[in-house]
Structure 1
Amino acid sequence: MTASSKPAAHTADREIVTTRDFDAPRELVFAAWTDAKHVSNWWGPNGFTTTTHVMDVRPGGEWRFIMHGPDGRNYPNRISYLEVARPERLVYKHGGEVELEPVDFHTTVTFTEVNGKTRVTMRAVFPSAEERDRVAREYGAVEGGQQTLARLAEHLAGSTGTVSDRTITSTRIIEAPQERVFQAFANPDQLKYWWGPNGFANTIEKFELYPGGTWRLTMHGPDGADYHNESVFTEVSVPERVVFEHREPVHRFTMEMTFAAEGDRTRLTWRMVFESASEFAKVKDFIVPANEQNFDRLAAHLASL
């Protein structure tokens, strides 16, 4: 557990602040907070389980869920999202259901890269110091927050292993200027001609190159099979960097693409971080040569322009 930052003076007496560093990339930690498939495995203090009914992570969206206590009691909860800045920040209001005594507070969760790890800070602000003390006393909120982040650490460690156990890095010097190489990816009319291993063709249905935008395509294999893919862009810095989360169909990973100018040439680097070491082990023997073929096709495409 790391030391938390000093809270603002005007809310210090009504805050609960919990901080922890995670040995996982920021995009993955953020996904663990915003994907129901992840969150049901770790949310809540020790002994609790969670059933999610609705999880709509966007400003104005809600997460409605039931926490099942180790004593058999159910605790309905409702979170309303106010801000979603992927993958840096979540802001939400928490409110219990009306049939129970409500626990209302405002939470800001930040995700910060620190020395190759991700620091998560939860800052819950209550309406008054008395309400903060009541929740801490009656619900064990301070210990509960610490236990919740400890469970998240266990979930990430158990499902992912270390980052090096599930990362594929491929790099190539491309004989073209940085802007041209970046546009070969950024322009779907070019991208469709070279994306994928040898023998693949592409139909790009949606390509929204901005944070939060969707990339949806169907890859047509040389065997005649179609492979639907869907990703969400999380970072875009023209013409240096793109990060996206590949979510469908099966292989879940984060891709970081960097375009570094080296004179009139460009060093293109792809860093793929898979959600689990077991998933990485299944695909690495295919992905490594496939990425090299992808680079070959890109180089050929640019040479033909």
Structure 2
Amino acid sequence: MAAGSVEAGAGAGASDRELVAARELDAPRDLVWTAWSEPTHVARWWGPRGFTNTVEHMDVRPGGAWRFVMHGPDGTDFRNEMRYVEVVSPERIVMDHVSGPNFRMTVTFAERGGRTTVTVRMTFESAAERDRAVEQFHADVGLRENLDKLGEYLGATTAARPPEEMVVTRVLDAPRPVVFEAWARPEHLARWWGPRGFTLSSCSIDFRPGGAYRMVMRGPDGADYPFHGVYREIVPPARIVFSAVIGPGPGNAVRTVVTFEEEGWKTRLTVRQTVPAMEGAARGQRQGWTESLERLADDLAALG
């Protein structure tokens, strides 16, 4: 599943202030990125062996904070806080550990023919600080075990995830900027999002790359279906990419790519979405999106 090593010292490809580790993972880059950027996934693999996590807050954008508690095998809690400096999906994450010991962590994701090489570089304020982190906190062992656990987690996740992708296309009788706008504002989404008979009872979106959203669909029987995610890419009026967490457990985060293509005065809208691992979820996935796009077409027609 994974192979790699932890390096320390200039002679091993790292400066005397750094620890560096790399792993080649048998998983596509988008999935590896999701494992680093979605709290439901990070909580399941982060930390050395024997540790578990409680993620209290995770805002994956420059200036955003990640606060979590690592629970040690002996019951000791270790509070941590990271501050995101740079986020370039799905290529690079830079974050500062500000709760001691202080260091900058730079993570890069390189695609290798369906596999992904993850490189983690921890840069401390001085060589003495790096040595103290190794001696007192076993940072070198923790870094190695952290990537080992990531590889093991992704192995379980990819095994559970069907490889197929769901694709739905519809030509809408409206110009591309108008169709794009229907995806960009909560008041527009509330008019058409969801299958027939469903309403969008709650819709909060931060429509920008790195922005989060939370929605609740309400079914005809009154049951609520909450979901949330992050906008990964927004290119007006051509493309939107976002993640969605639709249920607990590994394999239940999906990636959706929406493209908008001009066809004269009309717009060809295509939705591509990975198939979730939740049992039975794929059965209604295509029908749900088909009916949602039918409602979008009705809404655009009503707007004239």
**TM-score normalised by the shorter chain: which range applies?**
0.7 to 0.9
13, 28, 38: which is aligned to 2:16?
Answer: 13
The Cα offsets for residues 85-115 of structure 1, whole Å up to 9 and x where unpaired, read as 364423122555xxxxxx4432222345554
2:78 is aligned, of 70, 76, 79, to 76
Report percent identity of matched pairs: 34
Name the residue aligned to 2:50. Answer: 48
Q: How much has 1:202 moved relative to structure 2? A: 2.9
**Higher alpha-carbon deviation: 290-299 or 211-220:** 211-220
In structure 1, the residue matched to 2:156 is 158
Partner of 2:94: 90
> How far is 1:287 from its partner?
1.0
What is the SS of the residue equivalent to 2:45?
A: coil
Q: Which residue of 1 aligns with 2:67?
A: 63
What's the Cα RMSD here?
A: 3.8
Structure 2 distance, partners of 1:219, 1:294, is: 12
After superposition, the C-alpha distances for 1:61-98 in whole angstroms (9 at most, x for unaligned) are: 353433525xx5857353331426364423122555xx
For residue 284 of structure 1, report the CA deviation from its aligned partner. 0.7
**2:102, 2:124 within 8 Å by CA — same for their partners in 1?**
yes
Alignment match of 2:176 (pick from 159, 175, 178)? 178
Aligned ranges for residues 1-305 of structure 1 at < 5 Å? 1=3, 12-24=15-27, 26=29, 28-45=31-48, 47-52=49-54, 54-57=56-59, 59=63, 61=65, 63-68=67-72, 72=74, 74=76, 76=78, 78-83=80-85, 85=87, 87=89, 88-93=92-97, 95-96=99-100, 103-111=101-109, 115-133=113-131, 135-136=133-134, 141-161=139-159, 164-165=162-163, 167-247=165-245, 252-273=253-274, 277=277, 279=278, 281-304=279-302, 305=304
Give the distance between the partners of 2:189 and 2:40, measured in 1 at CA: 31
Q: Deviations over 1:191-241 (max 9, x none)?
A: 333221122233454333112434344434333444444443232111111
Distance 2:242 2:229 in 1: 6
Range with bigger deviation, 220-229 or 14-23: 220-229
Moved more, 83-92 or 119-128: 83-92
Q: What is the alpha-carbon distance in structure 2 between the residues aligned to residue 207 and residue 130 of structure 1? A: 45
Q: Is this contact kept in 1: 2:10–2:16, CA < 8 A?
A: no
* One-letter identity of the residue aligned with 2:94: L
TM-score norm. by structure 1 comes to: 0.75
Pairwise CA distance, 1:8 = 10
SS in 2 for 1:165: coil
How many residue pairs match? The answer is 291
Aligned to 1:100: none
Counterpart residue identity of residue 210, structure 1: R
Deviations 1:226-277 (A, max 9, x none): 4444443232111111122323566643322122334444332222235x53
- Residue deviations 1:12-56 (CA, integer Å, cap 9, x gap): 3322222234454555434433555433432234x3222437444
Superposed displacement of residue 159, structure 1:
2.6
Structure 1 residues 266 and 164, CA gap change in structure 2 (3 angstroms): farther
Q: For residues 174 and 53 of structure 2, what CA distance do their matches in structure 1 show? A: 51
Give the gaps of 5 or more residues in structure 2: none
Unmatched segments (≥5 aa) in structure 1:
97-102
